[in-house]
Amino acid sequence: MDEIQEKINKFVKKYNLECSNEIRFIDLTSEIGELGKEILKGNDYGRKEFSNTDNIESEIGDVLFSLICVANGANISLDKAVESVLRKYENRFLKNGNIGSER
């Protein structure tokens, strides 16, 4: 994932797309909403079994791009973040038999 983060970072710099992480987060939430809309379309708003829409791949790409930009803006390695969360979930599963957060 570090390679993908660097690829995105170079793209953002090449096209002068730098902005604050607050703006990146707003963009991320917007893209998640658009992905949600595609998911709803894919199951006809719960009336049928889900199937991919024509735009779902693009919307997932938009979410990933935005999330990677947020991580880059916060100097977070996604490799490290994923390894950390996998350890967290494994510990929860070993302790509780599931990975749900403790309440």
pLDDT value for 102: 67
pLDDT value at 66 more than 90:
yes
Q: Can you give the residue ranges of every domain in the chain? A: 2-76
| Range 43-72 average pLDDT | 97
Annotate 30-67 with three-state secondary structure: HHHHHHHHHHHHHCCCCCCCCCCCCCHHHHHHHHHHHH
Residue 6 to residue 61: CA distance in whole angstroms: 16
pLDDT value at 79 more than 80:
yes
| Range 7-15 average pLDDT | 98
Q: Which CATH number fits domain 2-76: 3.40.50.150, 3.10.105.10, 1.10.287.1080, 1.10.760.10?
A: 1.10.287.1080
pLDDT value at 103 more than 70:
no
- Between 62 and 98, where is the model more confident? 62
Percent of the chain with pLDDT over 70: 98
Q: What is the pLDDT confidence band of residue 100, given thresholds at 50, 70 and 90?
A: confident
